[in-house]
Every structure is written in structure tokens, then in C-alpha cells.
Chains A and B, each alone.
Chain A
Amino acid sequence: MEKLGIEPSLLLAQVVNFLVIMVVLQKLLYKPILTMLEKRKKEIAEGLHLTQKMREEEERLKEKQEKALAKAREDALQIIEDAKKQAKETEKELVAEAHTQAAAIIARAKTEAEETKNAATSAIRREAVDLAVVMAKRLLTSVMGVKEQHALISKRVKDLESWVAREEKKS
């Protein structure tokens, strides 16, 4: 023992040394570090769990959004379709109205033209009568005397009046 340098007091001192360092390291190193590691482990697990949840939520929202989008698209298509239909109807209506209006305008124009024609015809007729009277006057003055002229004229006027009356009755 002596040759190996073993001494009970030194041995005991080293045992005490080791026990001291063991207790100190347990207090200073292992406990806080292991607690910290455990805490971090928990935190990470929680974080992962949360991430998973978030991902699911995201998936759900995405699905919802997609559904909404699809529905919106469908709606839009429907609306366009409706609008087209309505437009066509309106067009048809407009065309029909235009047709009737055109017909009415044409009819009115026709009657107007007729009236104008009638008025012109009667005016021409009157003028022709006046002209005939003047011409007859001139001719008769040169051929007959005043008495005969008057008799003839009044006879002719009577004839004319009766003609006019007849004509008027006719028309």
C-alpha cells in the first residue's frame, strides 16, 4: 500500500471531493439543464401540435374558399346567361316596336299625301272654273249683247252651280 502511495486520509479526501462535485454538479448542471431540455421538448411538441392544427385549419379554409369561388363562378355564369336572354328579349321587343312605329308613320304619310292630293285637285278645279268663266266672258262680250250675255251667263252660272252641287253631293 505504501509503495503505491495509498493513504487513508487522502483516499477519504478524494471520496469527499467526488461527493462534493457530484452534489454541486447535480444542483448546478444536471437539474437546470435537464429541466430546460424537458421544457424545450414540451414546447416543441406543443409547437408542432399547433402547426398541425393550423395546417388543418388552413386546409379547411382553403376548401371553403374554393367552394365559395366555384359558387361565385357559377353565379356569374348564370347572371350572364340571364342578361343575354333579357337582352335578346329586349331586342326583339324593340324591333317589333320599331316595326309598328314605322308602319304607323307610313300610314300617316299615306293619308297626308292623299289629303294634299285632294286639296290640290280641288284647287286646280276651282282655278279651271275661274279661268273658263273669264274666257267665256271675253268670248261672249265680243259675240253677244249685254242682255243676251247676262241671260246666258246667269243660265251658265246656274248650270255650274247645279254641277257644283251635284259634284259636291257626289264627293
Chain B
Amino acid sequence: MTLHISLAAERLWTVWGLPISNSLLTAWVVMGLLIVLSVLATRKLTMVPSTGQLIAETLVGGLHDFFGAIAGKRLDQFFPLIASLFIFILAANWVGLLPGVGTVGYFRSEKAEAAVEQQAAVIPGAEVAVPTEEDSHAPAAGTVAEETTASSAAAATKEEDGHGKTAFVPILRGATADLNMTLALAVVAVIAMQYFGFRNLGAHYLGRFVNFKDPILFSVGILELVSDISKVVSFAFRLFGNIFAGEVLLAVIAFLMPFFLPLPFLMLELFVGVIQALVFSMLTTAFLNVAVSHGEEEHAAAEHHASA
């Protein structure tokens, strides 16, 4: 038995040129779940709320109040973005913790893997193989698509004659444990900052990056540009790092001791899921605020000057 850990999401199929990775599949599951739940919660809105409506109201109202404290009067512009960030990231984080996600899958020979796509989904360098004495007793059932339900530690590679190595491919993988997802969210967040900046300030917003008034402001503009690009990276890797690390931790713990011991770590990961969703959405709100209030003091000063 070996422990299978892959930094990248595995590719399942390719449909019309679009590679379907297991984390993309999970993202769709999360989306479906969210849509179904929100339809159920808001299907019959009444003055005296039902339980479902009450939960939805508490969530949305709570987020509204919470972000309202940061975003202030511009909350109505930002709210769909930041609330969706929070809800979607939270749901994705938690769905990644469900049993079966990352553990239910099938074995695929490397040849088949190469056939699906040129590049192997499992990066050799990121693969940790922990051999145990069970290895010798393991039946050669690699060709059969097999569900491993025992624990989140999955048998990763098995010896098989003729085909060489086979790789374990989980059908579902935590959506935020994939850099594509987190990078996508980060890109959306940073582009939203520029969008809201231009929408609120017009051409004046450009002065944040390109400013020829004086050399100090010019270099500050370059720094702002670099910092916005670095925001993409930090957003993406913070979320990915936390969630992926959590999944690796859970896999290792479950591999070492499948019963009871993972529970406190599972609790911890639930908590981390909330915290990361909160951090992502709160930072986005704060940066959005910074972007739309760029040069507000100058504006105010100029207006004051003009009126005086």
C-alpha cells in the first residue's frame, strides 16, 4: 500500500479539446449544490421565514453586515462578488473534505494516461510512495476500475505485468486544492479591483499605476503595478497552499491511523476552510476599497482648495 499525493489535479477525460480534471468536476458539483440549495432556500420567500429561508437569510444577511463594516457605502457594488467568493470557496473547501472526494477513483496504466493527454497528470516529483509490507500481498487487480473506500489514503501505484506502472486517479478532488481554481479566483478578484477602480474613478484611476507628476509618484505607480500582480500570486497560493496542505495532512494521518485520529484534524480543516474563505473575501474587499478610493485625499484637498 502506498500513499498517493499529487500536486496537480488529475485529468479524467478530454471533451472537445477541454481537459476535464477531477477538480473541475468537483467545481461543477459545488456549483450544482449551491444552485440547488439557493433555489430551495428562496423558492417560497415569506415574511415569517421557514427554516431554509432563515438559514439563507442568516448567511446572506450576516455576510452583508460583515462586509458592510469593511466596504462601507460601496458594499452594494461589491457584494455579489465578495459574497460569491466567500460562499463558493467555503463550499469548495468543505466539499473537498467529504469522504470519497480524493479517495474514490480508478487505476489507470501510464499508457492510458498518456493516451488521455500528452502530459501525465501525476507529477513524478510530487509523488510520495510509502511502501509497506502489504505491498507483496496486494492482488494484481490494477486493470479493474476499483473504488477504494477504506480511507483517504489510497493505493497509488501497483505493479502489473505487461503494462508497467498504473496510477490511481480519484474522480473528485477538492476544487480549491487545484491551482487552476485558486488562480482563476485570484485573477477574477484582481481584475474586479481594476474594473471597479475605473468604474468609480474613470481615467483618474490610471494615475495609480502611471504617474508622471513627479518621480516619487512614478515609482510608486510601478510598485502598485507589481503589487497588484503579486496579489494574484499570493491570493492563489495562499488558498491553494492551505487547502492542499490540509488534504495532504488528512491523507497522511489517515494513512498512519485510519480510525479516530483523523477526527481532530478534520475539525481543524473545517475551520481552515472557513478561515481561508473569509481571508480571501475580506482581503478582496479591502483591496477593492483601496482601489476605488485611490487619490481620494487629493480629490478632497483639490475640491477644498477650489471652494476656499
Contacts and interface: CB of A to CB of B under 8 A. Distances in A.
B119 to A, nearest CB: 7
A5 B180 CA distance: 7
A3 B123 contact: yes
Contact of A30 (B80, B179, B187): B80
A39 B53 CA distance: 14
Interface stretch (A7-15, A54-62, A63-71): A7-15
Interface stretch (B15-23, B94-102, B136-144, B148-156): B15-23
Interface stretch (B28-36, B157-165, B212-220, B247-255): B28-36
Contacts of B188: 15, 18-19
Interface SS majority for chain B: helix
A25 B84 contact: yes
Pick from A2, A9, A29 the residue with the most CB of B within 10 Å: A29
Given A34-B60, A43-B47, A4 B39 contact: no
Chain B, interface residues (CB within 8 Å), range: 35 or more
Chain A, interface residues (CB within 8 Å), range: 20 to 34
Nearest to A9: B18
B47 to A, nearest CB: 6
B184 A15 contact: yes
A36 B87 CA distance: 20
Contacts of B31: 17, 20-21, 24
B180 A14 contact: yes
Interface in A26-62: 26, 28-30, 32-34, 36-37, 39-40, 43
Interface in B174-208: 178-181, 183-185, 187-188
A5 B41 contact: no
Contacts of A32: 42, 45
A29 B41 contact: yes
A6 interface: yes
B129 interface: no
A23 B284 CA distance: 18
Contact of A33 (B8, B18, B56, B180): B56
A100 to B, nearest CB: 86
A28 B80 contact: no
Contacts of B178: 5, 10
Interface string B57-88: 10011001000000000000001110110011
Given A18-B188, A22-B80, A37-B57, 13 more contacts: A4-B7, A10-B178, A10-B180, A11-B183, A11-B187, A15-B184, A15-B187, A15-B188, A17-B28, A29-B38, A30-B80, A33-B60, A37-B64
Q: Which 4 A-B residue pairings sit nearest by Cβ, starting from the closest?
A: A5-B8, A14-B184, A22-B84, A29-B38
